[in-house]
Amino acid sequence: MAMASLRREGRRFAAPLISSQPITAIRSSLIAEEQAPLGIRSISTQVVRNRMKSVKNIQKITKAMKMVAASKLRAIQTRAENSRGLWQPFTALLGDAPSVDAKKNVIVTISSDKGLCGGINSTSVKISKAIHKLTAGPEKETKYVILGEKAKAQLIRDSKKDIELSITELQKNPLNYTQVSVLADDILKNVEYDALRIIFNKFHSVVSFLPTMSTVLSPEVVEREAESGGKLGDLDSYEIEGGETKGEILQNLAEFQFSCVLFNAVLENACSEQGARMSAMDSSSRNAGEMLDRLTLTYNRTRQASITTELIEIISGASALEG
Amino acid sequence: MIYLSFNKIIIIIIIILCKIFYSIRRRNRQKRVENNIQHPLSPADAPPLPISESADADAAAASSTTITTMFRQASRLLARSINQQPKMMARAFSTDVPATPTVDSTFVESWKKVIPNMEPPKTPLTFMQPRPSTPSTIPSKLTVNFVLPYASELSSKEVDMVIVPATTGQMGVLPGHVPTIAELKPGVLSVHEGNDVTKYFLSSGFAFIHANSVADIIAIEAVPIDQIDQSLVQKGLAEFTQKLSTATTDLEKAEAQIGVDVHSALNSALTG
């Protein structure tokens, strides 16, 4: 009888301690724990302990992932920077015409296969959809070619019929020019295009990735633009060496330009992916650390409350015996 | 005749060249490690990646230096053979945004009209290194940019003359050359500066010569001539001539023909 009343006392005593916690989930689970089965003397710290163990594991895992991403970034960054010289001659010769008026636009979106890399894939997809809207119009068609799982998952939801080709598992083997060249060949064979727009995240620094769009024009559009003047106007002043006709050379040039630009884009995107993953995992492990601190405080409070309850029961029991 | 796209041709050439150069480079690296001689062109011998080390070890153990075994491993080790170039410079985190970024205004405006809430994506013009303008008199030196997919071999180097292997034959380029777009075939590129001549064997590519005496040479593979093994070239030439005679389909014939062309070019590079 006395014990029952004291037990109730203990619960009431413990409740205000628990209610001062900021974490509502723990509060509700603890209260449920103590109210449900009768015969439990002390408040259990098991729930908090379990949660602490899992949060600590998460912290360890994300820290390890950050280290892995950092080492991969170092490896691929030198290659990406070395490949930056590859697209510059083409832009120097043909200029850059992102606002070209082309009937058949093909948007090549480059994304990663694995997740947990921050917001870079969503940015690429948003820009792709925006370009799709920008280049839409009467008698114009815009198609997608997708490299990478993540963009495919996002674009397949509303633009399924516009996706021409999708390629995944690009990074199974380390990226090299031959692989990208084969890929470029596949794309050019299967897709009709007037202008190819390659969307990727350019690696600016470890914390900043700039979404970039490179344009590669088909030889017919290049001829048309050269005739009409403007940026490509001086293309006619260039002598052509080799090949029979100018058209043949321009065809080869367009294919070569596409594979070079695609190679650089894929490397830059891979770099951005690793950098974004590094910063995402870093903030994740920091959050896990903060969460662990809060949980530790809760744990200590709960532990002290249960000890106090035990003491009260024992002391009041003893004083009751004395009379 | 079968139509092979430009990229396909390049791929076949690269595979053929890599087969030769992979074993040569591996042997050279081992020799270099023994003799401690530094490659004259490499700026710093960056430590090879751990993947390539193991590839090195198991390639050395598993294969003899026959081309057939290398061909089987070529697809697997292509990336590693490129990685083994001692030409990569280890650099800290750097960027390449030029001092005055240029933006295509028509694009930005049309973007803003349709999508007002998002920033427009950057275009290559923003990241372009600025090019010199066309001078009124012919400059005394030619500026050469020689780029490969995995390195910039020469960037803005001032030279007297370059001789490029265009498909129509060896073409000499001097300062003040007429603007030209030249398609290249596998052959020797020689860079003349004063009295030094540096020769590279190129896989095919393109060369652009602009009015401002800037020459851009883009190739996929380039190796200094002294690193090519004569015996492997002869073996390859014999093998491909044999393949050409026994080829049945158009594709096989075309591939064998490309092999023969590349090997004969290598041969003449070594002898000529």
CATH number at residue B167: 2.60.15.10
Suggest the residue from B7, B115, B126, B146 to mutate for an interface test with chain A (most A CBs closer than 10 A). B7
Asked if residue B265 belongs to a domain, the reply is: yes
Residue A77 has pLDDT above 90, yes or no: yes
Query: Residue A201: how many CA atoms within 13 Å on its side-chain side?
Result: 28
Asked if residue B127 belongs to a domain, the reply is: no
Q: Report the pLDDT value the prediction gives residue B116, as an integer from 0 to 100.
A: 86
Q: Report the pLDDT value the prediction gives residue A237, as an integer from 0 to 100.
A: 79
Residue A134 contacts B, CB cutoff 8 Å: yes
Size of interface A-B (CB pairs under 8 A): 193
Residue A39 has pLDDT above 70, yes or no: no
- Say if residue B179 is in the same domain as residue B250: no
pLDDT digits (tens, 9 = 90+) for A152-164: 999 999 888 889 8
Which chain B residue is nearest to residue A271, measuring alpha carbons?
B93
A115, A148 contact by CB (below 8 A): no
Closest CA to B185 of B207, B214, B205, B199: B205
Residue A241 contacts B, CB cutoff 8 Å: yes
Task: List chain A residues with CB under 8 Å of B49.
Answer: 75
- From CA B59, how far away is CA A130, in angstroms rounded? 48
What letter would DSSP give residue A39? T
Highest mean pLDDT: which range of A234-248, A296-310, B82-96: A296-310
Asked if residue B109 belongs to a domain, the reply is: no
- From CA A122, how far away is CA A116, in angstroms rounded? 12
Domain boundary among B209, B226, B243: B226
Q: In whole numbers, what is the pLDDT of chain A averaged over residues?
A: 85
Domain boundary among B226, B242, B260: B226
Q: Do A241 and B182 touch (CB under 8 A)?
A: yes
Residue B144 pairs with which residues in a beta bridge?
Answer: B157, B215
Closest CA to B52 of B80, B21, B86, B26: B80
Q: What is the separation of C-alpha B104 from the centre of its chain, rounded to a whole number of angstroms? A: 31
Task: List chain A residues with CB under 8 Å of B220.
Answer: 177
pLDDT digits (tens, 9 = 90+) for A42-52: 678 899 999 99
- Say if residue B160 is in the same domain as residue B189: yes
Asked if residue B94 belongs to a domain, the reply is: no
Closest CA to A125 of A201, A43, A225: A201
- Say if residue B219 is in the same domain as residue B234: no
- From CA B260, how far away is CA A79, in angstroms rounded? 32
Dihedral (CA of A39, A41, A47, A53) sign: negative
- From CA B129, how far away is CA B148, in angstroms rounded? 17
Task: List chain B residues with CB under 8 Å of A71.
Answer: none
- From CA B266, how far away is CA B253, in angstroms rounded? 20
Q: Please report which confidence band the pLDDT of residue A41 belongs to, taking 50, 70 and 90 as the band edges.
A: low
- Say if residue B18 is in the same domain as residue B78: yes
- Say if residue B196 is in the same domain as residue B242: no
Q: What is the separation of C-alpha B153 from the centre of its chain, rounded to a whole number of angstroms? A: 8
Closest CA to A76 of B223, B154, B83: B83
Q: Please report which confidence band the pLDDT of residue A10 belongs to, taking 50, 70 and 90 as the band edges.
A: very low
Element at B19 (helix H, strand E) = helix B6-35
- From CA A200, how far away is CA A121, in angstroms rounded? 9
Let me know if A195 is exposed, middle or buried by CB neighbors in 10 A (0-12, 13-18, 19+). buried
List, edge to edge, every strand of the sheet that includes A208-217.
Answer: A163-167, A141-147, A104-110, A195-205, A208-217
- Say if residue B75 is in the same domain as residue B22: yes
What is the mean pLDDT of the segment spanning A274-280? 95
Asked if residue B42 belongs to a domain, the reply is: no
Asked if residue B196 belongs to a domain, the reply is: yes
- Say if residue B173 is in the same domain as residue B242: no
A125, A155 contact by CB (below 8 A): yes
- Poorest-pLDDT segment among A199-203, A315-319, B100-104: B100-104
- Say if residue B242 is in the same domain as residue B265: yes
Which chain A residue is nearest to residue B151, measuring alpha carbons?
A82
Q: Please report which confidence band the pLDDT of residue A230 belongs to, taking 50, 70 and 90 as the band edges.
A: low
- Say if residue B217 is in the same domain as residue B249: no
- Say if residue B205 is in the same domain as residue B188: yes
Residue A220 — φ and ψ, nearest 5°?
Answer: -65, -40
For residue A313, the SS3 value is helix
Q: Please report which confidence band the pLDDT of residue A209 belongs to, taking 50, 70 and 90 as the band edges.
A: very high
pLDDT digits (tens, 9 = 90+) for A107-139: 999 999 999 989 999 999 999 999 998 888 888
Asked if residue B159 belongs to a domain, the reply is: yes
A52 CB neighbour count, 10 Å cutoff: 18
Residues 6+ apart with CB under 8 A from A51: A26, A295
Task: List chain A residues with CB under 8 Å of B78.
Answer: 176, 178
Min Cα distance A262 → chain B (Å) is 11
Buried b (16+ CB within 10 A) or exposed e, B123-161: bbbbbbeebeeeeeeeeeebbbbbbbbbbbbbeebebeb
Portion 73-92 of A in contact with B at CB < 8 A: 75, 77-79, 81-89, 91-92
Q: How far is CA A26 from CA A41, A142, A292, in A?
A: 19, 51, 13
Match 């275009």 to its residue by tokens.
B123
Instruction: Name the residue among B115, B150, B205 with its Cβ closest to that of A133.
Output: B115
- Say if residue B208 is in the same domain as residue B240: no
Residue A25 has pLDDT above 50, yes or no: no
Tell me the residue range of the domain where B17 lies.
6-37+57-89
If one counts the domains in chain B, the total is 3
Residues 6+ apart with CB under 8 A from A183: A147, A167, A170, A262
Q: Report the pLDDT value the prediction gives residue A109, as an integer from 0 to 100.
A: 95
Q: Please report which confidence band the pLDDT of residue A101 belongs to, taking 50, 70 and 90 as the band edges.
A: confident
Token pair listed for B22? 């992979």
Min Cα distance A137 → chain B (Å) is 12
Instruction: Name the residue among B11, B95, B171 with its Cβ closest to that of A178.
Output: B11
Token pair listed for A269? 């995107």
Q: Please report which confidence band the pLDDT of residue A187 belongs to, taking 50, 70 and 90 as the band edges.
A: very high
Task: List chain B residues with CB under 8 Å of A231.
Answer: none
Residue type, B151: A
For residue A258, the SS3 value is helix
- pTM higher than 0.80 for the full model? no
B10 CB neighbour count, 10 Å cutoff: 26
- From CA A84, how far away is CA A268, in angstroms rounded? 9
Asked if residue B83 belongs to a domain, the reply is: yes
Which stretches of chain B drop beneath a pLDDT of 70?
1-3, 21-102
For residue A98, the SS3 value is coil
What letter would DSSP give residue B170? E
Q: Tell me the ipTM for this assembly.
A: 0.74
- Say if residue B220 is in the same domain as residue B161: yes
Measured between alpha carbons, how far apart are the two ends of chain B, in Å? 31
Q: Report the pLDDT value the prediction gives residue B5, as an integer from 0 to 100.
A: 79
